[in-house]
Chain A
Amino acid sequence: MHMLEVKDVHKSYGNLEVLKGISFTMEKGETKVIIGTSGTGKSTLLYCINQLNPPDKGEVWLDGEEITNPETDINKIRQKIGFVFQEFNLFNHLTALRNVSIGLEKVKGMDKEKAQERAMAELTRVGLKEQVQQYPAQLSGGQKQRVGIARALAMDPMIILFDEPTSALDPELIGDVLDVMKALAGSVAMLVVTHEMGFARNVADEIIFMEGGIIVESGPPKQMFQYPKKPRTKEFLGKISTLYGKE
């Protein structure tokens, strides 16, 4: 049994078929990176996994449970699937600390003190010990995103989905966020949509190249970069590496 299994997922918006049958699996602690041109359906795929935007066809299994089944308690499942957004989506009315603890309190039913203790620990882990009482508007982009990661982590997820977590950041702030993600690798499964090739090369167990609603090719970074099977993969990786640098 795989930890996560995505089986033949299809999704259309009106006449536009965005996902045309996506299948892959993930194991505990694995890191996979999804790459692909803009508009290919990478975000759509992530939302199909946590059922915020359920697929039209196909199945998603997590931890032996079919979560595409309308009978499952999706709010329970979502606690196991962390999500980190490109535009952070921190709760604007809550301090960094409360952003991280609110899920523990309101969803997991932890008492306030315990939840805040845990939140404190997660924020320390992402290097924001000093900023716990700040509101989102008082944080830099990189700090916001690290709060976002801490918020996801605090729920003890089996997997965290990252949707271009560094795309909204100024270049000099990207490093801090990637460092946090690097440090997480192995301890929790991560499915990361990103253009950061350095991260993909050094951290990912597998790279998935999507285009036109299907997975064109996937494999370990070394293989994808050095011996891609499809010419299209080679072309795309060449282009993106010059844009985003090799490291």
Chain B
Amino acid sequence: MLEALVDSLPQLLEGLKFTIGLTILSLILGSLLGILLAVGRSYGKPPLSSFILIYEKVFRGIPLLVIFFLIFFGLSQLGLGLDPITAAVLGLGLRSAAYQAQIYRGAINSIPKGQMTAASSLGMSKLKSIRYIILPQALRLSIPGWSNELTIVLKDTSIAFSIGVIELMRQGRYVYVRNPDLILPVLLLIALIYFILVISASKGLNYLEKKYKMSGFEVGVER
């Protein structure tokens, strides 16, 4: 049995690639959009900021699975069929953006008002002040929250199983459907792989957090 398990490893690793790829792409989408949302809500005027508020509430209020179904099946009903991977990245990314926006906004709010004032006094435009003064500080402060978000996205890529993405869980399924004796060992092995990924991701980000810590800047991020 151990041998069969070892034989299944390459197949699982193939799935793992997709799990990691999904995680990275979704996080990139989530980060970029999340920063825009946070800046828009912190510095934007009412129509924009209330629109963002609604976006955040909606994407944080409904289950990922429902988001997946809306994007994957819903869009295809409109004739805009996406492949499962694109749908999964969109779903995970759009939802993550809503959570990340919250993280960044907390960080932006914790930066003293004087920073913005000082930047303006140098003649920087509002956009430049945000870009060069506020965001570099806010992003550093966001690392702990972001690290938490990374592990959540990583674990939730497994839900893409439900729209047919051939990630770790589905590759595992292929293995044990062919060889039912392996079902429990394969599932445990998959659990172990996730566990190692989650632990190393949060350890790695912990390290980053320490490395990029600014002295005198140990303010916690509001979650």
Do the two chains touch directly in the complex (Cβ atoms below 8 Å apart)?
no
Which residues from chain A sit less than 8 Å from chain B, CB to CB? none
Which residues from chain B sit less than 8 Å from chain A, CB to CB? none
